[in-house]
Chain A
């Protein structure tokens, strides 16, 4: 192994180009999913050019590794991704094809955003094997659904931008400060809206709302998927229906990219409400920023829960 490595370095060091620094060029940022891209835009403003590899309405676990995505990665100065193996099935082959030293692991242009999150949920404590489900082997990767996690992400992105483009460091710092202040204000506002619904018991399709529930104070009592990434069998669905009826669960949540038939059926059989919630920037028209995303999530959840409580109240009154 050693000899052939030496051979490689000899051959290729001859080829290596010294890239000239262009003072007027924008920093090219490529984000695996749109959420990081939006925050990068908040921090970088017109000093950066942001592109997302996947769309907000796409299942981030299963993105097609289209060769066209290699073109963006080939020119990128900074790659932002979720980590915790969320993009394991599609990002590594794209990075391999990109021929771009900047975005390789260990380099300044490669930012695994999960490393910025102080509190990763569902870190495996035992040995991981496939029988536990397909897709969350290193901890739950859906941390962007807790808006408080937007702050360390923004700080981490700003740090990298300052390293890549030190001339504009104060610009990035200023915009970071502004973003953090606005996000903290909004979090306070969303918190207040959610207060009346603490301890609401919910069922979600995929185990992707655990960070949201942790923040909102909801209790997740079941999942439409028996294990992350495993589609439900009819007997599992029947059991879930019995559980919802017994525990009087009122709310089922799913992302738009999951099949809607099964959760809709469960809702119909149990009288629960089924809510399709946005889970990413760009999921639909009108959700263009991280702020829009939580305005929508919090707004839709609270108005649904308000209508359920009113109905329940009416029911009690008539008794």
Chain B
């Protein structure tokens, strides 16, 4: 039997944060909780080509008290009909952009409110995903996956009582397009859709719609380490609950400038709006499918990549 010698990497993400309010509301577990320096996460990655036709990727994340399998999946490498590629396992779903980015690739130490509110930090169900390269002159990939809604952190999706109904599984689709405007300038545009039962009552579902945009400017010639990145995502959620239907949305936009080889700086705005009718009562912990009411937040960052 062939020996498995995976590439192993260990990455620690430390975050220094400054909050302008004394008692900031924490939306994502891994977000820093107060002003100061924190170990956010240690990530262990094991990546190996199993044989010439498959590769396996596994990512564990650990922090002081917790251990999580973030991803564990296999990917086909070989030529398949319709230019498809299949991934099987536990994966960060292709829903928008930030959801597929591991912590240390994210530009800000706090997670965008949209990801915290609608995706449960990250949406990483277990499932099968089909990715088709569309026969177009630019890079265009259509992804469709069927997943189990069990065990997710998000409150948007949950298992239905009628667990045998295939229609209640978590279905996710994503279309991503990449345009090379010039050698230095590129633009990605994507659209996402996810639907599954939400566990509030038999037959109730949640639908998530997403739009994502990413633009990058990086001159290739001299001092090629400078770059500017613009990233924005919009998520709209419809959910059926016993109290009525929810219509919530959120968006974030960020711009990051790499001004020297190892230095990034940037700003982000963040907004989530929930349906007024059943928004949580002031001062109480109660949430409606993970939402915490209307919130607007700004963040600025400076990163040194050692």
Task: Give A residues with C-beta under 8 Å from B.
Answer: 1-2, 4-5, 8, 12, 15-17, 19, 55, 57-59, 62, 64, 66-68, 70-71, 74, 95-97, 99-102, 104-107, 231, 256-257, 259-260
Contacts and interface: CB of A to CB of B under 8 A. Distances in A.
A57 B221 contact: yes
A5 B139 contact: no
Nearest to B1: A2
Interface of A is mostly: loop
Contacts of B80: 12, 15-17, 99
Given A95-B77, A102-B79, A107-B52, A257 B224 contact: yes
B259 interface: no
A2 B54 CA distance: 12
Nearest to B227: A64
Interface in B50-68: 50-55
B218 interface: yes
Interface residues of B, number: 41
Contacts of B53: 101, 104
Contact of A256 (B50, B76, B86, B221): B221
A255 to B, nearest CB: 10
Contacts of A17: 79-81
Contacts of B176: 67
B52 A260 contact: no
A98 to B, nearest CB: 8
Contacts of A57: 220-221
B218 A99 contact: no
Interface string B102-119: 000000000000000000
Nearest to A260: B222
Contacts of B19: none
A12 B74 CA distance: 13
A1 B218 contact: no
Contact of B220 (A2, A55, A106): A55
A105 to B, nearest CB: 6
